[in-house]
Amino acid sequence: MVLSKVWGATLLAGFAVAQTYPPDVVDQLAKDSLPKLKEWLERNPQEGCTYETAVKRREWRDLTVEERKAYTDAVLCLQSKPALTSDQAPGAKSRFDDYVVIHIQQTPRNHGSYWNWDRYAKDPANSPLFDGSEGSMGSNGAKEEHQGIPIPGAPPPYNMIPPGDGGGCVTSGPFKNMTVNVGPIAPTLNVQRNPRADGLGYNPRCLRRDINKHSAAVTTANYTYDLITNNHEIYWFQTVMEGQFPQGKWGVHAGGHYTVSGDPAGDFYVSPGDPVFWLHHAMIDRVWWIWQLQDLDSRLTQVSMTKTMNNFPPSENGTLDDLSGLGVLAPDVTVRELMNTMGGIGGKFCYIYE
């Protein structure tokens, strides 16, 4: 959960254009909470970061087509540069793959712990994110029959997501010719196995998606608003966000991932291999940011759970002094620094969401 701030901060840029969607209840909550941030900054000046100088992160549809294309071009550029992790992951062929490798290696530690989901929840496949146009993140996958997406640990009928209208290779948009190189580890579709058990071997295949409105239905603004306003401690905020599958309760985190689904987006370990992962996790960061704004004095320092996913194997509790451990991606910094978007890491973190 903590490192969602790193994943969101690494690739997402902020641009200024007019908003074209009416604000939902979460947007309004964020706007109403900004005076709390300004008041906190007056009492706690940050290192060169002020409300006026902070980068304003904006939702995908609020960018111009040219700005969206600049983002996807940057992803394609990463995919054209040689990997730095190939010594430990032979399947890694690009700098983009490096992010997937680090995520695979960190998954047991960082889980279980921006796109605005609500805007497109009713019809995600035809949204500005996935309509396959030049200004999209690529299309749905070609129609390919499959049985649906199993959800381990959930009781019927919550243990199987009905199939969407995709399942095959992405056919249009900036990533129609993209090659997925590493994984799978926990595939949701019938794709070729990786030659290594750890998923780090070379396993080239197309990018597959099954854009799914059944999954998107649990990401509407009412779920996000209730998550933020009804959970006052980090343990419950985190638990409800992730989902309580044995009780048949989805979280918005899982809902966003399974809205895209496919390969690698539906794979718990390899999901950063689909470029849309980064927009989803920036929204996770935004939701956490809005939750923090409700009580900055307390919530900027709240951490929860142990250092291993679901405490397996058993481990000690996480602390604010733990290091990020992002390998070749970035120098180690403490969790304490990652918690503060308005002055963390010596002022390098300086952004808000609009």
In a domain, 290, yes or no: no
Q: What crossing angle do the helices spanning 277-293 and 221-230 adopt, rounded to 10°?
A: 40
Q: Residue 324 contacts by C-beta under 8 Å, 6 or more apart in sequence?
A: 3, 6, 330, 332, 333, 334, 335, 338
Measured torsion, CA atoms of residues 342, 345, 347, 349, in degrees rounded to the nearest 10: -50
In a domain, 285, yes or no: no
In a domain, 132, yes or no: yes
In a domain, 293, yes or no: no
Q: What crossing angle do the helices spanning 234-242 and 277-293 adopt, rounded to 10°?
A: 150
* Identity of residue 231: N
Give how far Cα 249 sits from Cα of 54, 116, 269, Å: 36, 21, 21
Of residues 288, 272, 337, the one with CA closest to residue 75: 272
Please tell me the total count of domains within the chain. 1
Residue 31 lies in domain: 4-277+301-353
Q: How far apart are CA 235 and CA 218, in angstroms?
A: 20
In a domain, 307, yes or no: yes
Predicted confidence pLDDT, tens digits, the chain (354 residues): 433 444 444 444 333 334 468 999 999 999 999 999 999 999 999 988 999 999 999 999 999 999 999 999 999 999 999 999 999 999 999 999 999 999 998 865 444 439 999 999 999 999 999 999 999 999 999 999 998 988 888 888 888 999 999 999 999 999 999 999 999 999 989 999 999 999 999 999 999 999 999 999 999 999 999 999 999 999 999 999 999 988 888 899 999 999 999 999 999 899 999 999 999 999 999 999 999 999 999 999 999 888 777 777 888 888 999 998 888 998 999 999 999 999 999 999 999 998
Instruction: Provide the token pair at 316.
Output: 């000690």
Give the CATH number, domain containing residue 269.
1.10.1280.10
Whole-structure pTM value: 0.91
In a domain, 171, yes or no: yes
In a domain, 291, yes or no: no
In a domain, 284, yes or no: no
